[in-house]
Amino acid sequence: MCEVVKDLSNTDIKQIAEYFAEQKFVRSAQKFEPALAMQGKDIHKRSCEMCHAEGGSVAGNDAGIVAGQKMAYLEEQFKVIREGKRPVPKIMKPELDQLDKARIDALINYYGSFQ
């Protein structure tokens, strides 16, 4: 992707950002584990709800919509965030550091349960 966008002007980037900002978010229908989703709901309430409001369904305060995102995408994003390859808001880092793989899987199943 970097190779594709490296020559874009600030105006080009602004136009692309405006285009994507106008798009309606569509949740993905996907298979998830209901028991894990219930665990993820509890984890979300304790650790994520403050920024990812309404179960992760609302974007705002530097927090994107996570409810209904493709689970493979969420898995990849958790991975690159934990590896330090994607920056996150300072408030999010301590919450993420407390999550082991099982809790992350539960969160991914919770967010994947929104269809």
Give pLDDT, residue 47.
Answer: 92
Q: Is residue 21 part of a domain?
A: no
**Does residue 4 lie within any of the structural domains?**
no
Averaged confidence pLDDT in the chain: 92
In a domain, 36, yes or no: yes
Give the model confidence (pLDDT) of 50-80 as tens digits: 889 999 998 777 788 999 999 999 999 999 9
- Helix axes 101-112 and 34-47, enclosed angle (nearest 10): 100
Q: Which residues of the chain have pLDDT under 70?
A: 1
For residue 92, tell me if it sits in a domain. yes
Distance of CA 115 to the CA centre of its chain: 15
Total number of domains constituting the chain: 1
Which CATH number do you get for residue 89? 1.10.760.10
Beta bridge partners of 63: 60
Amino acid 1: pLDDT: 67
Provide the whole-model pTM.
0.83
Q: Is residue 82 part of a domain?
A: yes
- Residue at 91 is within a domain: yes
- Range of 98's domain? 27-112
Residues of the chain above pLDDT 70, percent: 99
DSSP for 4-62, written as a single string: HHTT--HHHHHHHHHHHHTSPP-PPP----HHHHHHHHHHHHHHTTTTSHHHHT--BTT
